[in-house]
Amino acid sequence: MKIGILGTGPVGTALGTGFIKTGHQVMLGARSADNANAAAWKAENGADASSGTFADAAAFGELVVVAVKGDALAAAIGAAGVGNFAGKTVIDTVNPLDFSKGYPDLSIKGNDSAGETLQRLLPGAHVVKAFNTVTSSLMFRPDLPGGPPDMMIAGDDADAKAAVTAILADFGWPTIDLGNLYAARWLEAFVMTWVLACQARGDWRQAFKLLHA
């Protein structure tokens, strides 16, 4: 499948490499077509890797991943062009993090979330919140001593969630479906638990698993 990724940071590049390793063609998008991170990633990932602007990547992808800085969400989607997402599954990895107060907080919270904000920006697309509760280096086939962690997702469209669940299986993740996209507000709030636990341990390479009776 053709995958467009908006974002050239640790998440965009890690997921991009994961998609290439599982047989997809990937275009990374940035504010400018000559982004240095995208060029380095492309050089490491062979013929199925390409790069362009946010709009190029959104148009290229049959499925689109949004992996931009939380406070840049609306700007990145505006640059990508809302029409380029019509009818597509969109994986939302964004956390609206706010470190300005000296402790980790969310700039969107309470009765809203970045996931719901993205869905309002893209009414013709099917947003699925995923990958936001784990560090980028564990996103593809996490190898942890306690076994595979769980990926919690949320979204309003069953077919889009089925597509993301299949991708997650390829990426080495069992999926827990939390239901409608409103649950993105709890997935994003949950990230605060993850950030504080990682800060306490001094290591970001940890992930959540639900233990069942």
Ligand X SMILES: NC(=O)c1ccc[n+]([C@@H]2O[C@H](COP(=O)([O-])OP(=O)(O)OC[C@H]3O[C@@H](n4cnc5c(N)ncnc54)[C@H](OP(=O)(O)O)[C@@H]3O)[C@@H](O)[C@H]2O)c1
Residues 1-30 that bind ligand X (CB under 6 A): 7-12, 30
Strands of 25-30's sheet in order across: 49-53, 25-30, 2-6, 63-66, 89-92, 126-129, 151-155, 175-177
By beta-carbon proximity to ligand X, the closer residue of 25 and 136 is: 136
* Residue nearest ligand X by beta-carbon distance: 9
Q: Shortest Cβ distance from residue 195 to ligand X (Å)?
A: 10
Residues 94-153 that bind ligand X (CB under 6 A): 94-95, 97, 132, 135-136
64 binds ligand X (CB under 6 A): no
Pick one of 64, 68, 127, 207: the residue that binds ligand X (CB under 6 A): 68
Cα–Cα distance for residue pair 116/84, rounded to 1 Å = 19
∠ CA 141-40-28 to the nearest 5 degrees? Answer: 65
Pick one of 33, 39, 62, 70: the residue that binds ligand X (CB under 6 A): 70
Number of residues that bind ligand X (CB under 6 A): 23
Task: Give the sign of the dihedral formed by CA 181, CA 183, CA 187, CA 189.
Answer: positive
* Candidate segments 91-99, 119-127, 143-151, 165-173, binder of ligand X by CB under 6 A: 91-99
93 binds ligand X (CB under 6 A): yes
Cα–Cα distance for residue pair 18/184, rounded to 1 Å = 23
- Here the tokens at position 195 are 């950030």
Give the SS3 label for residue 5.
Answer: strand
By beta-carbon proximity to ligand X, the closer residue of 33 and 162 is: 33
By beta-carbon proximity to ligand X, the closer residue of 107 and 180 is: 107
Instruction: Give the torsion through C-alpha atoms of 22, 25, 29, 33, to 10 deg.
Output: 140
Site for ligand X, rule CB under 6 A: 7-12, 30-31, 35, 67-70, 72, 75-76, 93-95, 97, 132, 135-136
